[in-house]
Structure 1
Amino acid sequence: MTHAATTKRAIIYCRVSDKKQKHDGDGLHSQEHRCREYAASRSYEVEAVFHDDVSGGGDFMKRPGIVAMLRFLETQAHDGYVVVFDDLKRFARDTIFHLKLRQELATYRATVECLNFKFEDTPEGQFVETVIAAQGQLERLQNRRQTLQKMKARLERGYYVFAAPVGYRYEKVEGHGRMLVRDEPRASIVREALEGYASGRFQLQAEVKRFLASHPEYPRDRSGEVRAQDVTNLLKRPTYAGYVEGRNWGVALRKGHHAPLISFQTYRAIQDRLLGKARAPARKNLNADFPLRGAVACGHCGTPLTACWTKGKYLRYPYYLCPKRGCESYGKSIRRATIEGEFETLLHQLRPAPRLFRVARAMFEDLWNQRLATAETSRSGLETELAKIEREVEQFLDRIAQAQLPSVITAYENRIRQLEERKIEISEKISNCGRPLRSFDETLRTSLDFLANPWNLWASERLEHKKAVLKLAFADRLTYVRDEGFRTPDLALPFKVLAEIGCPG
């Protein structure tokens, strides 16, 4: 009798529950080592080893290692392989799929052998096997329930328990355990994307997608793309505003322990835009190529000037022009360099004399105190509104206790959720109300720097800085007459007062 006829051929199957056990532990190698020793003790010839790092519950056809093993058996001309594994629980932890997998292996005339369980082809042996498989399923379901209970309890305490969103990572923090912390530079990228969509800088989700894709640090899917659905999910996450919730577990929105990337007010603005309740500013006000567009009016008809690029023989040229039909300046171009150069000259003329800064300090201090007083009044109004909302929530809770129809209860619960979100928004406003971000001296220094020379801020490359100059230095649109220049501007109050003080006559 030949060696091939007497030696049984075997394959080994090993499994751990997740990738972490695969990388952090030695489970797969330990299982394979014990299975090889078992095979050697019975003179089996091991031809292949198959690994899995997924849960043993559910359909075995979703386990890559099992699928590869079945394909191996299907392609082999030789029948009668022995499938060796370490423990019955490594085979399957779901009774139905345990039995189905046994039937699938039987179609290839493969037998199974386990290091700590003896399979017997008797009614009693099959009964014991089924009981042990059911016990494995019970343990898996109990472990899952216990894990979910712990996760829910931690979520109720304000800790995020799911996979870390882009912009955060988990880190052990003393007194908190594992919790979300900022993950730079992704956190700053996400924050800019969210604030940009809330403000209207990005009008469409497609623009947010392009912005995220422009940063190599932002994660992609397997095909190297930023998916549209990922952008939608990003915009809908209250986690970025510092809040957690678990709707499927009945955990209402609540303040989280992690640091927010955006304010809750910004989060609400994003949700309003997603629901179509808010519109983004018109695109024409966002063009960095023409910062004066929309801020300067035609001196003949009063229509805000538009702007465009025109194509020459070799180059493109930027122009401003009046878009109003019937106006004597309609369609007549004004070189960008001309109008913006004259505007910069106008800014240089706004520099007040140094002796006027003492007056300016007194003015700002009066305004500062007035704003603080107004903030206290606003705070009182917000506290009154908050108390009213809390009473409404109590009333809806009483109605839920008395309601019978599930649809009515659901409607009340949705209304309570809306009120709770409004409470959060008002609470955030109260915490910020009357609390300046910087001291009076710091703010004064910034203000005086701007008053001393507003051109310095205009010289910035950032469009928002240029828009700030137009808003802070002038009370209304500037008026420009083609071939003549700017008319006398309507200055903002600080510059107007300083001008009047500087020219008392």
Structure 2
Amino acid sequence: MNGFRRPTTRTADGAPLKAIVYCRVSSVAQTKKGDGLASQEQRCREYAAFKGYNVVKVVYDRAVSGKLLDRPGIREVVQFLKREKQADQYVVVFDDISRLARDIRTHLDLRDAIYATGAQMDCPTIEFREDSDGLYFEGMQALNAEHYRRKNAEQTKNRMRGRAMNGYWCFHAPPGYKFARVAGHGNLLVRDEPMASVIQEALEGFASGRLQSQGEVKRFLEQRPEFMQGRRRSELRYEDVIRFLTRPHYAGYIEIPEWDVPLRKGHHEGLISLEQYEQIQERIRDGARAPARRDINADFALRGAVLCADCGKPLTACWSKSKTGRKHPYYLCFTKGCVSSRKSIPRARLEDDFEALLQKMTPSAETFALASVMFRQAWDAYLEQATQVIAALKADIVRLDRQIEQLLDRLVEASNASTVAAYERRIAKLEKDRLIAAERLNKKPGPKRSFDDMFELACGFLSSPWNLWKSQSLNARRMVLKLAFAERLAYGRNEGFRTPKTTLPFKMLADFETAKCRMAGRDR
């Protein structure tokens, strides 16, 4: 063991050794609660005074694991000793061997690094000697420190896994949640407003298709100041977006595959339903990801929503500078070979034509009265179906339980690894289907509000989408395009907008307006 020597308390000329006190705690909580670092320093100072050392430096490692070799404090100690020409006049003092390291390899490397400078080590709980007994005892103490770290990690993991199996999240709170003390639960995830409402709106929008791509979810979240407040970056990464979309916490469930914790109902309140969560996963698997384009802004609200009538490709838009230096906004087709390629359309003309189109979609009062009667009949039929849905859900749960039980019997008898894996995947799928059915049953299928409330909400938009468009909000305008039109609009430079394909509510209202259809009465 090169560099080993029996510890002394004085230099060759009789002067006291200079002590460097090293203190370490392994967690942030220990730096905020208790007095760990100060207690270690005081104990080391008392020991140095007892041994006659002169303390010249105190070094701390705050919230750093003893398993790590590369630590700021240890690096400072070693570099300091390397710079000293008489490093043999120094001794590194620490409160316990576990403060130096909690890993046998780390301990040996640190010991060699300190001894290589010529300095010594000393500690109140162990005497560092170079004989066989001293080395044996030192090694056992270092191994014991590592064993304590590993055992503590295992016990902590087992406790956390047990709590997760009981439906409690035991890591950092996801965005939109915070931990609060709840009677009978301890620390429980609760909604953290206004962040929770923003995330809920984004998740529901993506599940329903109102936000059609991950790019739109990204843009929606970035435009909400209450969501972006306190973030280091001004933009979200796609990794952040996919993390929001794939976390089962937001559906009120918990899953930790690496700890063998399968999907299970959590005790916290979900922001969305499990059914909506599964819709989101299905959309992600189908590839509902489009780039978050920077050119979609309030200057050209119809960009991407209007097609060239000649080639069927989306119109682009830009600002064009005239000879006088003044900028003018235009829409244009940029498709090679199109007869309208690079032939600009003034923004004012195209958007004025669109606003006129929206105003024509406003139905008359008589049409709304007729629509109200017919929607009322459909509403009553929906209420009658709710009891049938409840019975069907109960039957589904019984059927799924029976299928799961049958597969479990087969799983016990299976010996082939691939067969076992196939059974396990099938069981996991059935259990998830059962959770969705049970959740829908608990929520009592049927409307959550009265017909008058629901129709009043819809009436505000259906009566005049033009009013929402006038709000000048880009999000509101994009919503009008999605809710009012089933397909993108075709626009010709000379003839204007072609007949649009509207969504079902507006199509029905248009048919009522022209008396082209009527709703058949129900058989009594």
TM range (shorter): 0.7 to 0.9
1:203 aligns with 2:217: no
Post-superposition CA distance 1:445-469 (Å, at most 9, x none): 3345456555434434303542366
Q: Which amino acid aligns with 1:492?
A: K
Aligned to 1:62: 70
| TM-score, scaled relative to structure 1 | 0.79
1:374 aligns with 2:385: yes
Counterpart-to-counterpart distance in 1, 2:76 and 2:329: 64
SS at match of 1:404: coil
Q: Judge conservation of contact 1:213–1:225 (CA < 8 Å) in 2.
A: no
SS at match of 1:51: strand
Residue 124 of structure 1, CA deviation? 2.9
Q: Judge conservation of contact 1:158–1:256 (CA < 8 Å) in 2.
A: yes
1:394 aligns with 2:408: no
SS at match of 1:309: strand
Q: Judge conservation of contact 1:164–1:170 (CA < 8 Å) in 2.
A: yes
Assess, with a 3 A threshold, how the Cα gap between structure 1 residues 439 and 389 changes in structure 2: closer, same or farther: same
Q: Judge conservation of contact 2:18–2:56 (CA < 8 Å) in 1.
A: yes
Q: Which amino acid aligns with 2:410?
A: R
Q: Judge conservation of contact 2:307–2:315 (CA < 8 Å) in 1.
A: no
Assess, with a 3 A threshold, how the Cα gap between structure 1 residues 497 and 480 changes in structure 2: closer, same or farther: farther
Aligned to 1:470: 484
Counterpart-to-counterpart distance in 2, 1:375 and 1:19: 53
Assess, with a 3 A threshold, how the Cα gap between structure 1 residues 341 and 110 changes in structure 2: closer, same or farther: closer
Q: Which amino acid aligns with 1:220?
A: R
Assess, with a 3 A threshold, how the Cα gap between structure 1 residues 316 and 477 changes in structure 2: closer, same or farther: closer
Residue 420 of structure 1, CA deviation? 2.7
Residue in structure 2 matching 1:415, options 416, 422, 426: 426
Assess, with a 3 A threshold, how the Cα gap between structure 1 residues 374 and 327 changes in structure 2: closer, same or farther: farther
Residue 413 of structure 1, CA deviation? 2.1
Counterpart-to-counterpart distance in 2, 1:176 and 1:101: 44
Post-superposition CA distance 1:269-307 (Å, at most 9, x none): 333344346677999xx9974559868997xx9x97964
Counterpart-to-counterpart distance in 2, 1:122 and 1:149: 41
Post-superposition CA distance 1:304-356 (Å, at most 9, x none): 796443646233345599x9x9999x9895822441243244245x2315xx7
1:101 aligns with 2:110: yes
Alignment of 1:32-43 (within 5 A): 32-43=41-52
Assess, with a 3 A threshold, how the Cα gap between structure 1 residues 489 and 152 changes in structure 2: closer, same or farther: closer
1:7 aligns with 2:7: no
Residue in structure 2 matching 1:351, options 339, 360, 364: 364
1:257 aligns with 2:259: no
Q: Judge conservation of contact 1:475–1:492 (CA < 8 Å) in 2.
A: no
Aligned to 2:522: none
Residue 44 of structure 1, CA deviation? 1.4
Gapped regions of structure 1 (runs ≥ 5) = none
Assess, with a 3 A threshold, how the Cα gap between structure 1 residues 278 and 381 changes in structure 2: closer, same or farther: farther
Counterpart-to-counterpart distance in 2, 1:429 and 1:408: 32
Post-superposition CA distance 1:39-72 (Å, at most 9, x none): 233331222212123465424x133222222222
1:336 aligns with 2:350: yes
Assess, with a 3 A threshold, how the Cα gap between structure 1 residues 399 and 436 changes in structure 2: closer, same or farther: same
Residue 179 of structure 1, CA deviation? 2.1
Q: Which amino acid aligns with 1:241?
A: A
Counterpart-to-counterpart distance in 1, 2:130 and 2:338: 99
Q: Judge conservation of contact 1:242–1:260 (CA < 8 Å) in 2.
A: yes
Assess, with a 3 A threshold, how the Cα gap between structure 1 residues 72 and 411 changes in structure 2: closer, same or farther: farther
Residue in structure 2 matching 1:238, options 233, 248, 257: 248
Residue in structure 2 matching 1:30, options 39, 43, 56: 39
Alignment of 1:435-454 (within 5 A): 435-450=446-461, 453=464
Residue 132 of structure 1, CA deviation? 3.1
Counterpart-to-counterpart distance in 1, 2:138 and 2:42: 25
Counterpart-to-counterpart distance in 2, 1:195 and 1:360: 28
Residue 393 of structure 1, CA deviation? 2.5
Counterpart-to-counterpart distance in 2, 1:210 and 1:364: 32
Counterpart-to-counterpart distance in 1, 2:327 and 2:446: 52
Residue in structure 2 matching 1:309, options 306, 314, 317: 317
Q: Judge conservation of contact 1:294–1:304 (CA < 8 Å) in 2.
A: no
Counterpart-to-counterpart distance in 2, 1:183 and 1:369: 38
Greater Cα shift, 78-87 or 132-141: 132-141
Q: Judge conservation of contact 1:309–1:316 (CA < 8 Å) in 2.
A: no
Q: Which amino acid aligns with 1:147?
A: T
Assess, with a 3 A threshold, how the Cα gap between structure 1 residues 464 and 378 changes in structure 2: closer, same or farther: farther
Residue 218 of structure 1, CA deviation? 5.6
Residue 2 of structure 1, CA deviation? 11
Counterpart-to-counterpart distance in 1, 2:71 and 2:303: 62
Counterpart-to-counterpart distance in 1, 2:412 and 2:432: 22
Alignment of 1:360-371 (within 5 A): 361-371=372-382
Residue 86 of structure 1, CA deviation? 1.4
Q: Judge conservation of contact 2:45–2:55 (CA < 8 Å) in 1.
A: yes
Q: CA RMSD in A?
A: 4.5
1:217 aligns with 2:217: no
Aligned to 1:133: 142
Q: Which amino acid aligns with 1:219?
A: R
Q: Which amino acid aligns with 1:258?
A: H
Residue in structure 1 matching 2:185, options 176, 179, 189: 176
Alignment size in residue pairs: 488
